[in-house]
Structure 1
Amino acid sequence: MVRLGHEVFIEHDAGVGSSIPNVEYEAAGAKILATADEVWAIGDLILKVKEPISEEYGRMRQGQTLFTYLHLAASRPCTDALIQSGITAIAYETVEVDRGLPLLAPMSEVAGRMAPQVGAAALQRANGGRGVLLGGVSGVGAAKVVVLGGGVSGLNAATIAMGMQAKVVLMDKNVARLREVDRIYGGRIQTLASNAFEIERQLLDADLVIGAVLVPGTKAPMLVSNELVSRMKPGSVLVDISIDQGGCFEDSHPTTHAEPTYKVHNSVFYCVANMPGAVPHTSTYALTNVTLPYVVELAQKGWRDACRDDAALALGLNVHNGEVVYESVASAHGMTHRPLAELLV
């Protein structure tokens, strides 16, 4: 970005968690500022990983562009704050290319690959689980892992669980997707068409359930009720990757890496928001690989011309100048929306 003639400002120690010290940013031509307040005050284009938190709401201003994950359908307070600030907010997770979500994919990969790992840890007796080893041992059966959703995160979760020698069931409504999984994995991952009856049947026999469903731009559907959890095996574990979009289990609520789990009936829930934050070095580079081309477009052209020239980026526009632009976000909160086409004329 510096080579393109732009000034780049970084909050002091912003990269330390990802093993990127200040000196590396300075060597690339960036300027280090002492506080986040200073970065927000001077920046025309703000880049983040997660949606703004309450302490950041007052820092946003009209004429500024924010490019980050937003997940607004699951957060009315953040939506209201963006509207009130007048900022232009573009969401990584709704940028869409050929019905795919290229800026969500790397974090979905990370979360999907982490899910069997954290689930296996939660299954340990000391952590409240059944005391089951995911892959079993000679003469003792492996754990049964049920993955709800065959998208990027779900397939990555199923693949890692299979590699850990668990018995894996992948469920999705898209039979063509399941057929593709069968072709690639040759039956090592069992595939089932997802419906309420089959979900109930599979979960009652599951040791680990991984929720990985996504409806772009809107809240995740609720697939697992409190009543169903009450009938699951004692010590079973449910990992909700969909928590950033509201979660797909009725009893899901966001937790932290410091306190990741809680009990529901006799089962253990793991609902950490921003799972990739546990492996920030990997996540930072994975996300930068896919976001940088769009960042360059926004910096070089401004948000309006960048969106005019790139239909995929334009779909990322969620809020502009006090109005919701992304229809699914507006619908989630009972708001009206401003059609995208009106802003790009």
Structure 2
Amino acid sequence: MKFFTLIFLLKIILVFSQTSEEKYILSKNFIYLAKMDAYKKDYQSSNNRYGKAFKLHKVEDSNDLLDAASVAFEINNRKLAKEYIVEAIVGYNAPKEFVLEYKGLQKFKKDQIFTDIEVNYENYVEEYYKSKKSIAAYIEVEKLIEKDQNIRNLHINITKKLPRNIKDKKRLDSIFNQQMIEVDSITTNSLIEITKKYGYQDKGWIILWHQRGQEYKNENSKFWKFFKPLIKKEIENGNLHKSFFAMFDDEYEIINSGKQVYGTYSDYFEVYPIKDISGIDARLKQIGFPPLLYDKLIYGKKLPEGYTLTEDQLYQELLSRVKGYD
């Protein structure tokens, strides 16, 4: 009995000695293991690891909660399953259709819980908005996103309606590109001011994403000179995951070398191969991502040519990341 008490106390000491950034990474590693356990149909172990992950850090989005709900259903813990689904809505504003049609939950769709979710959905959404620290910041960012998307969607919709052989397409693209530059100038400056006033806003990510490519590495960019150090601080404080810049880095590398650093464009390995395939898993570990094989097993993604890792090696790697905490 004393031995197990000592082990328990050591685990608590280990967790409390970690930085916020380390806790976030550990939480994600427990989630990776939980999904691997579910893949192996070891639902009890999966459920336990989801529980550990959620105690360490809030999840990144609603998907992990819905996957955890699926596992809870598998072990017949309906109460926990409902708690996870409700949290996906109250905490992350998961759309009703998204929840009801979520692939991992379809086999449990006849459960009374889903009827209750439908009936009470609007109340859950109301709770989501009530929980926002600043509804003013939320609305301001939503307005920026609407402005950002309107010009881009207009370009796409008009281009779709044009004949393929239209002579003035380049001229039309040029006009829209200029308009996008003007809109981006407004949205980027506005996002900086909103962030200064209210702090980092998760929903502003799309504005950041539209400043990727060459602009991302532009040392004179007012936008990135403001946001890069701020985001790095958010990562240190455990508010953002260490992998935040991975897609930005891959986008920049693709433009300049035609290759990827982290393989975030997993559907395009044949077009944009991974730079130094032998070192990919080590690079992924540095930013808190699982080995590349994980995406194939869990999400059905293709693997790039030359990649070698077995399922057992993947599982052992993930276990090593939570050693002492599991």
TM tier relative to shorter chain: under 0.3
User: Which one has the bigger helix percentage?
Assistant: 2
User: Which one has the bigger strand percentage?
Assistant: 1
Higher-Rg structure is 2
**TM-score of the superposition, structure 2-length normalised?**
0.25
**TM-score of the superposition, structure 1-length normalised?**
0.24
